[in-house]
Structure 1
Amino acid sequence: MIVNHTPDGWQIIYQQAHALLAAQLAWHWQPFGPSDRWVGLLAAIAQHDDEQRPWDGHYSLTPAGAPANFTMKEFSLEQAQGVMKAARFQGRWRSLLTSMHLHTLYEGLRQEQKVIDTFLTEQEAQQKQWRRELKLNKKEAQQAYDLMHWCDRLSLILCRQELPEMGRELEIYEGPDGQCYHVSRPTAEGPVTVTPWPFREQQLTVSVEASQLRQLQFADDQELAAALREAPVETLRWELAR
Protein backbone atom coordinates (compact mmCIF):
# COMPACT_ATOMS: atom_id res chain seq x y z
CA MET A 1 0.00 0.00 0.00
CA ILE A 2 0.95 3.63 -0.50
CA VAL A 3 -0.06 5.46 2.66
CA ASN A 4 -0.48 9.23 2.85
CA HIS A 5 -1.40 11.06 6.04
CA THR A 6 -4.49 13.29 5.85
CA PRO A 7 -5.86 15.78 8.40
CA ASP A 8 -8.40 13.22 9.62
CA GLY A 9 -6.77 9.87 8.91
CA TRP A 10 -5.11 8.06 6.02
CA GLN A 11 -5.27 7.97 2.25
CA ILE A 12 -4.57 4.48 0.93
CA ILE A 13 -3.56 3.69 -2.66
CA TYR A 14 -3.02 0.04 -3.45
CA GLN A 15 0.25 -0.75 -5.21
CA GLN A 16 -1.64 -2.47 -8.00
CA ALA A 17 -3.57 0.79 -8.59
CA HIS A 18 -0.30 2.74 -8.70
CA ALA A 19 0.91 0.29 -11.37
CA LEU A 20 -2.20 0.96 -13.43
CA LEU A 21 -1.48 4.70 -13.22
CA ALA A 22 2.06 3.98 -14.47
CA ALA A 23 0.55 2.13 -17.45
CA GLN A 24 -1.67 5.14 -18.21
CA LEU A 25 1.44 7.32 -18.37
CA ALA A 26 3.17 4.85 -20.70
CA TRP A 27 0.13 4.71 -22.98
CA HIS A 28 0.55 8.42 -23.75
CA TRP A 29 4.14 8.00 -24.96
CA GLN A 30 4.82 7.56 -28.65
CA PRO A 31 4.89 3.77 -29.13
CA PHE A 32 8.18 2.28 -30.27
CA GLY A 33 9.16 -1.16 -31.45
CA PRO A 34 6.86 -3.91 -32.80
CA SER A 35 3.22 -3.63 -31.70
CA ASP A 36 3.25 -6.95 -29.85
CA ARG A 37 6.20 -5.83 -27.75
CA TRP A 38 4.60 -2.44 -27.10
CA VAL A 39 1.48 -4.16 -25.74
CA GLY A 40 3.66 -6.52 -23.71
CA LEU A 41 5.50 -3.52 -22.25
CA LEU A 42 2.21 -1.92 -21.20
CA ALA A 43 1.16 -5.22 -19.59
CA ALA A 44 4.45 -5.49 -17.69
CA ILE A 45 4.02 -1.94 -16.37
CA ALA A 46 0.38 -2.47 -15.37
CA GLN A 47 1.09 -5.74 -13.54
CA HIS A 48 4.53 -5.17 -12.02
CA ASP A 49 3.14 -4.88 -8.47
CA ASP A 50 0.82 -7.89 -8.57
CA GLU A 51 1.09 -10.98 -6.34
CA GLN A 52 1.21 -8.98 -3.11
CA ARG A 53 1.56 -10.98 0.08
CA PRO A 54 -1.69 -11.85 1.89
CA TRP A 55 -2.40 -9.85 4.99
CA ASP A 56 -1.93 -11.98 8.08
CA GLY A 57 -1.25 -10.81 11.59
CA HIS A 58 0.34 -7.36 11.44
CA TYR A 59 1.91 -7.50 7.98
CA SER A 60 0.13 -4.33 6.88
CA LEU A 61 0.54 -2.37 10.11
CA THR A 62 3.31 -0.44 11.80
CA PRO A 63 4.22 -1.32 15.40
CA ALA A 64 1.94 1.56 16.45
CA GLY A 65 -1.02 0.06 14.59
CA ALA A 66 -1.09 2.50 11.67
CA PRO A 67 -1.33 1.34 8.03
CA ALA A 68 2.19 0.52 6.84
CA ASN A 69 3.54 2.20 3.73
CA PHE A 70 5.14 -0.22 1.27
CA THR A 71 8.57 1.31 1.92
CA MET A 72 8.38 0.01 5.51
CA LYS A 73 8.09 -3.62 4.42
CA GLU A 74 11.02 -5.95 3.95
CA PHE A 75 11.93 -7.70 0.71
CA SER A 76 9.47 -10.51 0.03
CA LEU A 77 10.97 -13.36 -1.97
CA GLU A 78 7.52 -14.92 -2.12
CA GLN A 79 6.05 -11.84 -3.82
CA ALA A 80 8.99 -11.49 -6.22
CA GLN A 81 8.75 -15.14 -7.24
CA GLY A 82 4.98 -14.80 -7.60
CA VAL A 83 5.33 -11.85 -9.96
CA MET A 84 7.80 -13.79 -12.09
CA LYS A 85 5.59 -16.87 -12.14
CA ALA A 86 2.59 -14.80 -13.27
CA ALA A 87 4.67 -13.02 -15.94
CA ARG A 88 5.71 -16.28 -17.56
CA PHE A 89 2.13 -17.06 -18.51
CA GLN A 90 2.26 -13.96 -20.74
CA GLY A 91 5.52 -14.86 -22.41
CA ARG A 92 9.26 -14.23 -22.41
CA TRP A 93 9.07 -10.53 -23.28
CA ARG A 94 6.96 -9.63 -20.27
CA SER A 95 9.06 -11.99 -18.17
CA LEU A 96 12.24 -10.22 -19.28
CA LEU A 97 10.91 -6.76 -18.40
CA THR A 98 9.52 -7.93 -15.06
CA SER A 99 12.81 -9.61 -14.22
CA MET A 100 14.75 -6.45 -15.07
CA HIS A 101 12.48 -4.45 -12.78
CA LEU A 102 12.87 -6.81 -9.84
CA HIS A 103 16.61 -6.91 -10.36
CA THR A 104 16.76 -3.11 -10.33
CA LEU A 105 14.67 -2.90 -7.15
CA TYR A 106 16.63 -5.46 -5.16
CA GLU A 107 20.20 -5.29 -6.45
CA GLY A 108 21.01 -3.01 -3.51
CA LEU A 109 20.18 -5.86 -1.13
CA ARG A 110 22.83 -8.15 -2.55
CA GLN A 111 24.97 -9.84 0.13
CA GLU A 112 22.35 -9.21 2.81
CA GLN A 113 20.75 -12.65 2.47
CA LYS A 114 21.81 -15.71 0.51
CA VAL A 115 18.27 -16.22 -0.87
CA ILE A 116 18.32 -12.70 -2.33
CA ASP A 117 21.71 -13.29 -3.94
CA THR A 118 20.45 -16.54 -5.45
CA PHE A 119 17.30 -14.85 -6.76
CA LEU A 120 19.25 -12.01 -8.38
CA THR A 121 21.75 -14.39 -10.00
CA GLU A 122 18.89 -16.48 -11.36
CA GLN A 123 17.32 -13.35 -12.87
CA GLU A 124 20.55 -12.38 -14.59
CA ALA A 125 20.84 -15.84 -16.18
CA GLN A 126 17.19 -15.84 -17.24
CA GLN A 127 17.46 -12.37 -18.78
CA LYS A 128 20.41 -13.48 -20.87
CA GLN A 129 18.51 -16.55 -22.06
CA TRP A 130 15.35 -14.58 -22.89
CA ARG A 131 17.29 -11.94 -24.84
CA ARG A 132 18.99 -14.66 -26.85
CA GLU A 133 15.72 -16.46 -27.58
CA LEU A 134 13.93 -13.22 -28.51
CA LYS A 135 16.91 -12.07 -30.61
CA LEU A 136 17.22 -8.87 -28.59
CA ASN A 137 20.36 -7.05 -27.59
CA LYS A 138 20.84 -5.39 -24.21
CA LYS A 139 20.26 -1.90 -25.63
CA GLU A 140 16.82 -2.80 -27.02
CA ALA A 141 15.74 -4.44 -23.78
CA GLN A 142 17.09 -1.54 -21.73
CA GLN A 143 15.22 1.03 -23.80
CA ALA A 144 11.90 -0.67 -23.06
CA TYR A 145 12.73 -1.15 -19.41
CA ASP A 146 13.76 2.49 -19.04
CA LEU A 147 10.22 3.52 -19.99
CA MET A 148 8.82 1.05 -17.46
CA HIS A 149 11.06 2.47 -14.73
CA TRP A 150 10.28 6.05 -15.78
CA CYS A 151 6.51 5.52 -15.60
CA ASP A 152 6.81 3.67 -12.30
CA ARG A 153 8.78 6.55 -10.84
CA LEU A 154 6.42 9.30 -12.03
CA SER A 155 3.40 7.33 -10.81
CA LEU A 156 4.98 7.05 -7.37
CA ILE A 157 5.74 10.78 -7.31
CA LEU A 158 2.07 11.52 -7.98
CA CYS A 159 0.65 8.87 -5.63
CA ARG A 160 2.98 9.78 -2.76
CA GLN A 161 2.28 13.51 -3.11
CA GLU A 162 5.94 14.28 -3.81
CA LEU A 163 5.44 17.13 -6.28
CA PRO A 164 7.66 19.98 -5.02
CA GLU A 165 6.13 23.25 -3.93
CA MET A 166 6.66 26.68 -5.46
CA GLY A 167 7.16 25.33 -8.96
CA ARG A 168 10.44 23.60 -8.16
CA GLU A 169 11.47 20.68 -10.35
CA LEU A 170 12.01 17.07 -9.29
CA GLU A 171 13.99 14.58 -11.36
CA ILE A 172 11.94 11.64 -12.57
CA TYR A 173 14.37 9.28 -14.30
CA GLU A 174 16.19 8.87 -17.57
CA GLY A 175 13.71 8.03 -20.32
CA PRO A 176 13.97 5.46 -23.11
CA ASP A 177 15.50 8.15 -25.32
CA GLY A 178 18.40 8.70 -22.90
CA GLN A 179 17.14 12.12 -21.76
CA CYS A 180 16.71 13.05 -18.12
CA TYR A 181 13.20 14.29 -17.30
CA HIS A 182 11.88 16.55 -14.54
CA VAL A 183 8.39 17.12 -13.19
CA SER A 184 6.95 20.25 -11.60
CA ARG A 185 3.70 22.03 -10.83
CA PRO A 186 4.22 25.73 -11.61
CA THR A 187 1.12 26.77 -9.63
CA ALA A 188 -0.58 25.05 -6.70
CA GLU A 189 -3.85 24.41 -8.55
CA GLY A 190 -2.48 24.27 -12.07
CA PRO A 191 -1.48 21.33 -14.27
CA VAL A 192 1.60 19.22 -13.79
CA THR A 193 4.30 19.61 -16.43
CA VAL A 194 7.15 17.35 -17.50
CA THR A 195 10.33 18.72 -19.05
CA PRO A 196 11.18 17.92 -21.77
CA TRP A 197 7.64 17.02 -22.79
CA PRO A 198 7.50 13.30 -23.72
CA PHE A 199 3.85 12.65 -24.52
CA ARG A 200 1.99 12.52 -27.86
CA GLU A 201 -0.71 14.96 -26.74
CA GLN A 202 -0.28 18.54 -25.61
CA GLN A 203 -2.25 17.73 -22.47
CA LEU A 204 -3.69 14.64 -20.83
CA THR A 205 -5.39 13.45 -17.65
CA VAL A 206 -4.45 10.40 -15.57
CA SER A 207 -6.10 9.03 -12.45
CA VAL A 208 -5.92 6.55 -9.60
CA GLU A 209 -8.40 5.44 -6.93
CA ALA A 210 -7.66 6.02 -3.24
CA SER A 211 -9.49 4.84 -0.12
CA GLN A 212 -10.06 7.31 2.70
CA LEU A 213 -9.67 6.03 6.27
CA ARG A 214 -10.70 8.06 9.31
CA GLN A 215 -9.42 5.59 11.89
CA LEU A 216 -5.82 6.13 12.94
CA GLN A 217 -4.96 2.78 14.57
CA PHE A 218 -5.92 -0.84 14.00
CA ALA A 219 -5.56 -3.97 16.11
CA ASP A 220 -4.58 -6.25 13.23
CA ASP A 221 -4.73 -6.76 9.48
CA GLN A 222 -8.29 -8.03 9.65
CA GLU A 223 -9.54 -4.81 11.24
CA LEU A 224 -7.68 -2.74 8.66
CA ALA A 225 -9.02 -4.86 5.79
CA ALA A 226 -12.58 -4.49 7.11
CA ALA A 227 -12.17 -0.71 7.35
CA LEU A 228 -10.83 -0.53 3.80
CA ARG A 229 -13.78 -2.52 2.47
CA GLU A 230 -16.14 0.08 3.93
CA ALA A 231 -14.01 3.16 3.25
CA PRO A 232 -15.17 5.77 0.74
CA VAL A 233 -13.17 5.73 -2.48
CA GLU A 234 -12.00 8.88 -4.24
CA THR A 235 -10.64 9.17 -7.76
CA LEU A 236 -7.52 11.32 -7.79
CA ARG A 237 -6.83 13.04 -11.10
CA TRP A 238 -3.87 14.94 -12.46
CA GLU A 239 -3.87 17.08 -15.55
CA LEU A 240 -0.53 17.11 -17.32
CA ALA A 241 0.11 19.90 -19.81
CA ARG A 242 3.02 20.97 -21.95
Structure 2
Amino acid sequence: MIVNHVPAGWQIIYQQAHALLAAQLLHQWPAFLPCDQWVGLLAAAAQHDDEQQDWDGHYGITPAGAPANFTMKEFSLEQATGLMKAARFQGRWRSLLTSMHLSTLYESLRGQNPETDAFLDEQRACQKRWLRELKIKKADAGRAYTLLHWCDRLSLIFCRQELPEMGRALEIYQGPDGQPYHVLQPQAPGPVRVQPWPFRDKQFTVSVEATVLHQLQFKDDAELAQALRQAPIERLTWDLAKG
Protein backbone atom coordinates (compact mmCIF):
# COMPACT_ATOMS: atom_id res chain seq x y z
CA MET A 1 0.00 0.00 0.00
CA ILE A 2 0.96 3.63 -0.51
CA VAL A 3 -0.04 5.43 2.68
CA ASN A 4 -0.48 9.20 2.92
CA HIS A 5 -1.35 11.09 6.10
CA VAL A 6 -4.19 13.47 5.22
CA PRO A 7 -6.45 15.72 7.35
CA ALA A 8 -9.22 13.10 7.25
CA GLY A 9 -6.89 10.32 8.49
CA TRP A 10 -5.12 7.95 6.09
CA GLN A 11 -5.28 7.92 2.32
CA ILE A 12 -4.52 4.43 0.98
CA ILE A 13 -3.58 3.71 -2.62
CA TYR A 14 -2.99 0.06 -3.45
CA GLN A 15 0.23 -0.66 -5.29
CA GLN A 16 -1.71 -2.36 -8.08
CA ALA A 17 -3.70 0.87 -8.58
CA HIS A 18 -0.46 2.87 -8.73
CA ALA A 19 0.74 0.47 -11.44
CA LEU A 20 -2.40 1.11 -13.46
CA LEU A 21 -1.69 4.84 -13.22
CA ALA A 22 1.82 4.15 -14.56
CA ALA A 23 0.23 2.36 -17.53
CA GLN A 24 -2.04 5.38 -18.19
CA LEU A 25 1.04 7.59 -18.39
CA LEU A 26 2.84 5.14 -20.66
CA HIS A 27 -0.20 4.98 -22.93
CA GLN A 28 0.28 8.69 -23.66
CA TRP A 29 3.82 8.23 -25.02
CA PRO A 30 4.12 7.93 -28.80
CA ALA A 31 4.68 4.24 -29.52
CA PHE A 32 8.19 3.36 -30.69
CA LEU A 33 7.83 -0.43 -30.69
CA PRO A 34 5.93 -2.94 -32.84
CA CYS A 35 2.32 -3.40 -31.71
CA ASP A 36 2.87 -6.68 -29.86
CA GLN A 37 5.88 -5.33 -27.95
CA TRP A 38 4.14 -2.03 -27.16
CA VAL A 39 1.12 -3.82 -25.70
CA GLY A 40 3.47 -6.11 -23.76
CA LEU A 41 5.18 -3.03 -22.33
CA LEU A 42 1.80 -1.62 -21.29
CA ALA A 43 0.95 -4.93 -19.63
CA ALA A 44 4.27 -4.99 -17.77
CA ALA A 45 3.64 -1.47 -16.49
CA ALA A 46 0.06 -2.23 -15.41
CA GLN A 47 0.99 -5.47 -13.62
CA HIS A 48 4.45 -4.76 -12.22
CA ASP A 49 3.16 -4.66 -8.62
CA ASP A 50 0.86 -7.69 -8.78
CA GLU A 51 1.09 -10.86 -6.66
CA GLN A 52 1.16 -8.94 -3.38
CA GLN A 53 1.18 -11.16 -0.31
CA ASP A 54 -1.88 -11.68 1.83
CA TRP A 55 -1.57 -9.89 5.14
CA ASP A 56 -0.48 -12.21 7.91
CA GLY A 57 0.15 -11.08 11.46
CA HIS A 58 1.35 -7.46 11.40
CA TYR A 59 2.16 -7.38 7.71
CA GLY A 60 -0.20 -4.50 6.98
CA ILE A 61 0.37 -2.31 10.05
CA THR A 62 3.29 -0.70 11.84
CA PRO A 63 4.22 -1.54 15.46
CA ALA A 64 2.25 1.58 16.43
CA GLY A 65 -0.85 0.25 14.69
CA ALA A 66 -0.87 2.57 11.67
CA PRO A 67 -1.26 1.30 8.10
CA ALA A 68 2.21 0.34 6.81
CA ASN A 69 3.55 2.11 3.74
CA PHE A 70 5.15 -0.19 1.16
CA THR A 71 8.57 1.33 1.87
CA MET A 72 8.40 -0.11 5.40
CA LYS A 73 8.12 -3.68 4.11
CA GLU A 74 11.06 -5.94 3.51
CA PHE A 75 11.78 -7.57 0.16
CA SER A 76 9.39 -10.46 -0.43
CA LEU A 77 10.95 -13.28 -2.42
CA GLU A 78 7.52 -14.92 -2.52
CA GLN A 79 5.96 -11.88 -4.21
CA ALA A 80 8.84 -11.47 -6.66
CA THR A 81 8.76 -15.15 -7.60
CA GLY A 82 4.99 -15.05 -8.00
CA LEU A 83 5.26 -11.98 -10.22
CA MET A 84 7.68 -13.76 -12.54
CA LYS A 85 5.52 -16.88 -12.70
CA ALA A 86 2.48 -14.79 -13.64
CA ALA A 87 4.44 -12.82 -16.26
CA ARG A 88 5.56 -15.95 -18.08
CA PHE A 89 1.99 -16.78 -18.99
CA GLN A 90 2.03 -13.62 -21.13
CA GLY A 91 5.23 -14.47 -22.94
CA ARG A 92 8.97 -13.89 -22.96
CA TRP A 93 8.86 -10.17 -23.78
CA ARG A 94 6.57 -9.37 -20.84
CA SER A 95 8.75 -11.66 -18.69
CA LEU A 96 11.91 -9.88 -19.81
CA LEU A 97 10.57 -6.45 -18.88
CA THR A 98 9.30 -7.66 -15.51
CA SER A 99 12.59 -9.39 -14.78
CA MET A 100 14.53 -6.23 -15.63
CA HIS A 101 12.34 -4.29 -13.20
CA LEU A 102 13.00 -6.75 -10.39
CA SER A 103 16.73 -6.61 -11.08
CA THR A 104 16.63 -2.82 -10.93
CA LEU A 105 14.75 -2.83 -7.63
CA TYR A 106 16.58 -5.58 -5.79
CA GLU A 107 20.11 -6.01 -7.17
CA SER A 108 21.30 -3.84 -4.25
CA LEU A 109 20.27 -6.69 -1.90
CA ARG A 110 22.87 -9.02 -3.37
CA GLY A 111 25.10 -10.60 -0.74
CA GLN A 112 22.56 -10.43 2.09
CA ASN A 113 20.77 -13.73 1.59
CA PRO A 114 21.64 -16.85 -0.48
CA GLU A 115 18.04 -17.32 -1.64
CA THR A 116 17.82 -13.72 -2.82
CA ASP A 117 21.17 -14.08 -4.61
CA ALA A 118 19.93 -17.21 -6.38
CA PHE A 119 16.80 -15.35 -7.50
CA LEU A 120 18.88 -12.43 -8.81
CA ASP A 121 21.22 -14.84 -10.64
CA GLU A 122 18.22 -16.51 -12.24
CA GLN A 123 16.95 -13.14 -13.48
CA ARG A 124 20.29 -12.35 -15.12
CA ALA A 125 20.41 -15.73 -16.83
CA CYS A 126 16.79 -15.53 -18.00
CA GLN A 127 17.24 -12.03 -19.36
CA LYS A 128 20.20 -13.15 -21.48
CA ARG A 129 18.29 -16.16 -22.77
CA TRP A 130 15.13 -14.19 -23.62
CA LEU A 131 17.13 -11.52 -25.44
CA ARG A 132 18.82 -14.21 -27.49
CA GLU A 133 15.62 -16.13 -28.22
CA LEU A 134 13.65 -13.01 -29.12
CA LYS A 135 16.54 -11.62 -31.19
CA ILE A 136 16.27 -8.29 -29.38
CA LYS A 137 19.28 -6.10 -28.73
CA LYS A 138 20.03 -5.37 -25.08
CA ALA A 139 20.00 -1.62 -25.81
CA ASP A 140 16.51 -1.83 -27.36
CA ALA A 141 15.13 -3.76 -24.39
CA GLY A 142 16.80 -1.24 -22.10
CA ARG A 143 15.08 1.63 -23.90
CA ALA A 144 11.68 -0.01 -23.45
CA TYR A 145 12.31 -0.80 -19.80
CA THR A 146 13.54 2.74 -19.11
CA LEU A 147 10.14 4.03 -20.20
CA LEU A 148 8.42 1.62 -17.80
CA HIS A 149 10.67 2.84 -14.99
CA TRP A 150 9.99 6.47 -15.95
CA CYS A 151 6.22 5.99 -15.81
CA ASP A 152 6.52 4.06 -12.56
CA ARG A 153 8.44 6.95 -11.03
CA LEU A 154 6.00 9.65 -12.18
CA SER A 155 3.07 7.58 -10.93
CA LEU A 156 4.75 7.32 -7.51
CA ILE A 157 5.33 11.08 -7.45
CA PHE A 158 1.60 11.58 -7.93
CA CYS A 159 0.47 8.85 -5.56
CA ARG A 160 2.88 9.83 -2.77
CA GLN A 161 1.99 13.54 -3.03
CA GLU A 162 5.57 14.46 -3.93
CA LEU A 163 4.84 17.29 -6.36
CA PRO A 164 6.93 20.24 -5.07
CA GLU A 165 5.31 23.44 -3.89
CA MET A 166 5.82 26.98 -5.22
CA GLY A 167 6.21 25.89 -8.84
CA ARG A 168 9.52 24.12 -8.27
CA ALA A 169 10.54 21.34 -10.64
CA LEU A 170 11.32 17.77 -9.58
CA GLU A 171 13.33 15.40 -11.75
CA ILE A 172 11.32 12.34 -12.73
CA TYR A 173 13.91 10.07 -14.28
CA GLN A 174 15.90 9.74 -17.45
CA GLY A 175 13.62 9.01 -20.38
CA PRO A 176 14.09 6.34 -23.06
CA ASP A 177 15.82 8.99 -25.18
CA GLY A 178 18.48 9.46 -22.48
CA GLN A 179 17.15 12.92 -21.61
CA PRO A 180 16.20 13.97 -18.05
CA TYR A 181 12.59 15.05 -17.50
CA HIS A 182 11.09 17.23 -14.78
CA VAL A 183 7.58 17.64 -13.39
CA LEU A 184 6.14 20.73 -11.74
CA GLN A 185 2.86 22.08 -10.44
CA PRO A 186 2.48 25.79 -11.31
CA GLN A 187 1.81 28.12 -8.38
CA ALA A 188 -1.42 29.36 -9.89
CA PRO A 189 -4.17 26.74 -10.31
CA GLY A 190 -3.55 24.83 -13.48
CA PRO A 191 -2.44 21.54 -14.98
CA VAL A 192 0.76 19.69 -14.12
CA ARG A 193 3.65 20.33 -16.50
CA VAL A 194 6.29 17.87 -17.67
CA GLN A 195 9.39 19.38 -19.22
CA PRO A 196 10.26 18.64 -21.93
CA TRP A 197 6.80 17.43 -22.97
CA PRO A 198 7.05 13.78 -24.11
CA PHE A 199 3.41 12.83 -24.56
CA ARG A 200 1.30 12.28 -27.65
CA ASP A 201 -1.60 14.55 -26.63
CA LYS A 202 -1.13 18.18 -25.62
CA GLN A 203 -3.45 17.74 -22.64
CA PHE A 204 -4.92 14.72 -20.84
CA THR A 205 -6.09 13.49 -17.45
CA VAL A 206 -4.99 10.47 -15.43
CA SER A 207 -6.54 9.08 -12.27
CA VAL A 208 -6.25 6.56 -9.47
CA GLU A 209 -8.65 5.36 -6.78
CA ALA A 210 -7.80 5.86 -3.11
CA THR A 211 -9.43 4.60 0.08
CA VAL A 212 -9.87 7.04 2.99
CA LEU A 213 -9.55 5.74 6.55
CA HIS A 214 -10.70 7.97 9.41
CA GLN A 215 -9.46 5.53 12.06
CA LEU A 216 -5.79 6.14 12.83
CA GLN A 217 -4.78 2.95 14.67
CA PHE A 218 -5.62 -0.73 14.28
CA LYS A 219 -5.04 -3.65 16.60
CA ASP A 220 -4.19 -6.12 13.82
CA ASP A 221 -4.35 -6.82 10.10
CA ALA A 222 -7.89 -8.15 10.33
CA GLU A 223 -9.21 -4.88 11.74
CA LEU A 224 -7.37 -2.88 9.09
CA ALA A 225 -8.65 -5.13 6.30
CA GLN A 226 -12.23 -4.76 7.55
CA ALA A 227 -11.88 -0.98 7.69
CA LEU A 228 -10.49 -0.88 4.15
CA ARG A 229 -13.43 -2.91 2.84
CA GLN A 230 -15.93 -0.50 4.39
CA ALA A 231 -14.14 2.81 3.83
CA PRO A 232 -15.20 5.36 1.20
CA ILE A 233 -13.28 5.51 -2.07
CA GLU A 234 -12.25 8.71 -3.79
CA ARG A 235 -10.94 9.24 -7.31
CA LEU A 236 -7.79 11.32 -7.52
CA THR A 237 -7.12 13.03 -10.83
CA TRP A 238 -4.24 14.95 -12.35
CA ASP A 239 -4.55 17.14 -15.43
CA LEU A 240 -1.36 17.34 -17.48
CA ALA A 241 -0.78 19.90 -20.20
CA LYS A 242 2.02 21.00 -22.43
CA GLY A 243 3.49 24.28 -21.21
Normalising by the residue count of structure 1, what TM-score does the alignment of the two structures yield? 0.99
Mapped contact 1:22–1:46 kept (Cα < 8 A): yes
Q: Distance in 2 between the 1:135 and 1:220 partners? A: 50
- Check whether the contact 1:26–1:151 (CA below 8 A) recurs between aligned residues: yes
Shift of 1:189: 3.0
Find the residue that maps to 2:85 and give its secondary structure.
Answer: helix
State the match for 1:238 in structure 2. 238
| Matched residues, number | 242
Q: In the alignment, what sits opposite 2:102?
A: 102
Q: Give matches, 1:31-180, under 5 Å.
A: 31-180=31-180
Aligned-residue offset at 1:198: 0.4
C-alpha contact (below 8 Å) 2:165/2:185 kept by paired residues:
yes
Could you list the per-position Cα deviations for residues 104-132 of structure 1 after superposition, in whole angstroms to 9, with x for gaps in the alignment?
00011111111111111110000000000
CA distance in 2, matches of 1:8, 1:240: 26
Q: Could you tell me which residue of structure 1 aligns to residue 212 of structure 2?
A: 212
Distance 1:110 1:233 in 2: 39
Cα-Cα RMSD: 0.7
Shift of 1:232: 0.3
Deviations 1:66-86 (A, max 9, x none): 000000000000000000000
CA separation in 2, counterparts of 1:90 and 1:209? Answer: 26
The Cα of 1:188 is off from its aligned counterpart by 5.4
**More off after superposition, 88-97 vs 116-125:** 116-125
Give the distance between the partners of 1:66 and 1:22, measured in 2 at CA.
26
Q: Distance in 1 between matches of 2:10 and 2:228?
A: 11
Identity level (%) = 74
Distance 1:188 1:231, change over 3 A: farther
- Matched to 1:40, the amino acid is G
d(CA) in 1 for partners of 2:75, 2:196: 34
Given that 2:8 and 2:212 are in contact with CA atoms closer than 8 Å, whether structure 1 keeps it comes out as no
What residue in structure 2 maps to residue 27 of structure 1? 27
TM-superposed deviation, 1:190:
1.8
What TM-score do you get using the length of structure 2 for normalisation?
Answer: 0.98
- The 1-side partners of 2:164 and 2:111 are apart by 35
Amino acid at match of 2:59: Y
- Do 1:165 and 1:188's aligned partners in 2 also have CA atoms closer than 8 Å? no
Q: Deviations over 1:182-205 (max 9, x none)?
A: 100012532111000000111110
* Residue 8 of structure 1, CA deviation: 2.7
